Amino acid sequence: MRLAEVTQLISTDIRRALIGIGVTGLSVARFLQSQGREFDVYDSRDNPPGLDVFKKEFPGVQVHLGALEDGDLCGYSEVILSPGIDPKNSWVQSALQAGVKVFGDIELFAQAVDKPVIAITGSNAKSTVTSLVAEMAKAEGFNVGVGGNLGTAALDLLEENVDLYVLELSSFQLELVGSLAPVAACVLNLSADHMDRYASMLEYHAAKQRIYKKAERLIFNREDELTQPLVQDGQTSLSFGLDNPDINDFGLRQLSGETWLVRGHHPLIAADDVALKGSHNHANVLAAMALAEAVGISESAMKKVAREFAGLPHRCQLVSRHMSVQWIDDSKATNVGAVVAALEGLGLGKNIVLIAGGQAKGQKFDELKSLIKAHVKQLVLIGQDADKLASVLQDCAPILFAVSMDAAVQVAAQSSQAGDIVLLSPACASFDMFNGYEHRGNEFARAVEALV
């Protein structure tokens, strides 16, 4: 029997199941089809969004809908999970116990990619840093594939003419990765998030740390000990932070009365020249520079982007200056750590009216107490778990409740004066009232515009 016939026999002997129809599921299906690999599809929902599109694009694929039970997947060789599906589900565990290989789309990407990869994770600022690094690479003249948890699914990025991949990765995506070997990887920060999926911070921390496993250069936040990697043979590490750095690290220094972003003692750019404002964004730019340096991006390209990149929608985005009040949309702040970063970066005494609330995702809000006492003059609470926030924060600032985003903006307008900031930074998920954080931010901007 010839080698090609043996390969074909082995390929057809492998039974694969793709679990979850959605953006990621479609990208996996396209990739498998392009490789000539057969697969079945399962989705626990009876009528998942995108089902019609899937059936039209893959008419020959068998689709199983409805709840999965233990043993349903045990006849397969490989099971590919969409990241929203918890591997701790009993029907996934039964497949693992039966010897089925279970992995996700990023593992498929890692096995297929043949160009350098920069990988970025963290509880907050992933999208901002991913976008900064991608823009720096483009400024250097690289053809960049950018996506993952941000924008385009990783497998849809695979092209022959790409020079560099820059991936934002969530903890969900990292849970089932074993082969990813980035030229540089970074955990930006770590604070409690997705506690409705993880049993503890230790479990969440372990998922994030998987990004470092096979990376060449490990970039971490020296002001957040939970981001620090265990460096193995053949790996090097670099840190960033908002303090004076060691000789090879990235940080801030005072030079001639000005704050500068530096690498060791070498000045890179004055903090006032960085387009993204707030100390938290200085940290983001430093992290991006450390990652960009790992693939040979020049200092001039880094500085050009630092001066010009104004940020992403819904991430501390200025949407209006109405009546000398700054209205800032930070709807992407779906956890406590993101709100901490925003308050630390924007707070100047009690100058903030904070709109917060939504679905708490099992989080605790005690970490917000000191910052709200220091910077928030009025707290406006919305959403399903507004009472949970109020019970924790009741002694930190005056609290008002609103039943809608329009009502919240009206209350905030009445509570603010010239020089203040009205900040939408919810610390919660949005799906109790909105279709997602983008919808929430857009509704905030619309309501602010209606004030005029």
Residues with a catalytic annotation lie at 126, 149, 194
Angle between helices 437-449 and 405-415 (to 10 degrees): 50
Left if phi > 0, otherwise alpha if psi is -120 to 50, otherwise beta: which for 332? alpha
> What is the rounded radius of gyration, in angstroms, for the C-alpha atoms of the chain?
23
Q: Give ∠ CA 309-127-82 in degrees, rounded to 5.
A: 155
